[in-house]
């Protein structure tokens, strides 16, 4: 924690929040009421938190099937995430998406989708639109938003308002994994982003596994970030389990993208603790080397930060216990809110196919 900052306590709180929410989802997932494929991000929290700490609500985020952490770190509404998992009308997609399709436009979280690589070019296109709006090539354009409902508006109003500075360039961030790096659209998007010098940050969460297939069976021995660099991106790699390091790397990358230096690329090494999809651990399946998961648990992003906060006296046990209480309360209330949700009407199933 050499790069500890005053923000570290806040970063820890955000990571802890995602961890406790994911654990609460895992616990209730067994009840068979959240019936949708759910990919938990336990073990990988530092990346979402360290990157999003530098983003405003006007900055945009695109994500993937393992998107809860990205959604929450960007300010996505917890209650509507949970309602979405339960399939209620109050869900962020009205129950049409489930865990793998999240959106919260007010928070600047545009979308997560589960076709690997699917959102990568969309992030590129969104960044291109931001660039054109900024340059005046397409003045007078607003993002095209669809309809809304009264309860949605109520939720939006409860958000913290952020003043928009017209001169600032909005940055777009896309989160993806090492498996996605093998997809064609990944490279097509990097090529175009570099060509157009887009205000775009690529964040590769390298957790070494595509479902259960290790990186060594899928890619030759070479660094992912160097391929990005060869595409003309400013690319660096680092420890995705040290939130201060992620924070520092993302600070530079976001600032560069905002300053018009073109697309940035972070390759961050991390590890997923639970099974690929679902609430359980699956170490008994034996696709990870013996001791691999435990090694990563020793390097838990929360544990490392917690130890540093205590050792450096930036925080203390009672303050950390207070964080736990605050979060337990928020999560319990969010579940209660979402469980009071309404079933989407059968009639509404056919709505919104066309504008």
Partner 1 sequence: MRNVTMMSYGEAIREALDDGLATYPEMILIGEGVSDPKTVFATTQGLREKYGAERVLDMPLAENGMTGICIGAALGGMRPVLVHQRIDFALLSVDQLVNNAAKWRYMFDGQQQVPLVIRVIIGRGWGQGPQHSQSLQAMFAQVPGLKVVMPTTAGDAYHSMLDAIADNNPVLFIEHRWLHHIKGEVDKNRSPSALNGAALLRQGGDITLAAFSHMTIEALKAAAVLAKHGIDAEVLDMRCLTPLDVDSVARSIDKTGLLLVADCAPEIASMAHNLLSKLFQSHGQRLKQPPRLIAYPNHPVPTSHFMANHYYPGAEEIAVTVLEMLNKQPLKQTVKMELQSDLARDLPDRSFTGPF
Binding site for partner 1 (CB under 8 A): 60, 62, 93-94, 96-97, 101, 103, 105, 110-111, 113, 115, 118, 120-130, 132-133, 135, 137-148, 152, 184-185, 187-189, 191-192, 195, 351-355
* 3-state class (DSSP) for residue 206: strand
Nearest to partner 1 of 49, 106 (CB atom): 106
- Rounded to whole angstroms, the Cα distance separating 249 from 305 reads 17
Nearest to partner 1 of 143, 298 (CB atom): 143
**CB of residue 103 to partner 1, shortest distance in Å:** 5
**CB of residue 15 to partner 1, shortest distance in Å:** 27
**CB of residue 50 to partner 1, shortest distance in Å:** 24
Segment 329-337 long-range contacts (CB within 8 Å, at least 24 positions apart):
330/17, 330/78, 331/20, 331/21, 331/24, 331/78, 334/78, 334/79, 334/82, 335/24, 335/28, 335/82, 337/79, 337/82, 337/83
Nearest to partner 1 of 121, 341 (CB atom): 121
**CB of residue 60 to partner 1, shortest distance in Å:** 8
Nearest to partner 1 of 103, 234 (CB atom): 103
Nearest to partner 1 of 132, 236 (CB atom): 132
Structure tokens at 175: 């989160």
Contact between 307 and 12 under an 8 Å Cβ cutoff? The reply is: no
- Rounded to whole angstroms, the Cα distance separating 295 from 272 reads 12
DSSP classification of residue 217: G
Closest CA to 232 of 190, 201, 198, 204: 190
**CB of residue 47 to partner 1, shortest distance in Å:** 22
């Amino acid at each position: 924690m050499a790069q500890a900052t005053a923000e570290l306590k806040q970063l820890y709180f955000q990571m802890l929040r995602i961890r406790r929410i994911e654990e609460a989802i895992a616990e209730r997932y067994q009840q068979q009421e959240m019936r949708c494929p759910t990919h938990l991000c336990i073990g990988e929290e530092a990346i979402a938190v360290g990157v999003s700490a530098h983003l405003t609500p006007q900055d945009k985020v695109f994500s993937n099937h393992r998107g809860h952490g990205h959604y929450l770190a960007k300010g996505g509404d917890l209650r509507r995430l949970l309602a979405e998992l339960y399939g209620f009308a109050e869900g962020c997609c009205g129950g049409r998406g489930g865990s793998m399709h999240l959106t919260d436009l007010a928070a600047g979280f545009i979308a997560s989708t589960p076709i690997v690589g699917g959102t990568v070019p969309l992030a590129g296109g969104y960044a291109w639109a931001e660039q054109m709006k900024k340059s005046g090539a397409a003045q007078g354009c607003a993002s095209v938003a669809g309809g809304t409902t009264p309860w949605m508006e109520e939720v939006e109003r409860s958000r913290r308002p952020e003043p928009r500075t017209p001169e600032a360039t909005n940055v777009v961030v896309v989160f993806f994994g090492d498996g996605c790096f093998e997809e064609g659209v990944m490279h097509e998007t990097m090529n175009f982003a570099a060509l157009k010098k887009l205000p775009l940050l690529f964040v590769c969460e390298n957790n070494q596994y595509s479902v259960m297939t290790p990186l060594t069976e899928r890619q030759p021995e070479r660094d992912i970030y160097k391929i990005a660099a060869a595409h003309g991106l400013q690319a660096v790699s680092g420890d995705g389990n040290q939130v201060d390091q992620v924070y520092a790397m993302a600070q530079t990358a976001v600032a560069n993208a905002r300053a018009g230096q073109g697309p940035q690329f972070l390759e961050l090494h991390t590890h997923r603790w639970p099974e690929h999809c679902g609430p359980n651990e699956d170490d008994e399946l034996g696709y990870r080397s013996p001791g691999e998961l435990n090694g990563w648990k020793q390097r838990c992003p929360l544990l490392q930060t917690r130890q540093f906060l205590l050792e450096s006296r930036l925080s203390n046990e009672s303050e950390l216990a207070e964080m736990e209480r605050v979060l337990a309360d928020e999560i319990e209330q969010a579940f209660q809110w979402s469980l009071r949700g309404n079933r989407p009407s059968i009639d509404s199933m056919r709505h919104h196919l066309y504008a």
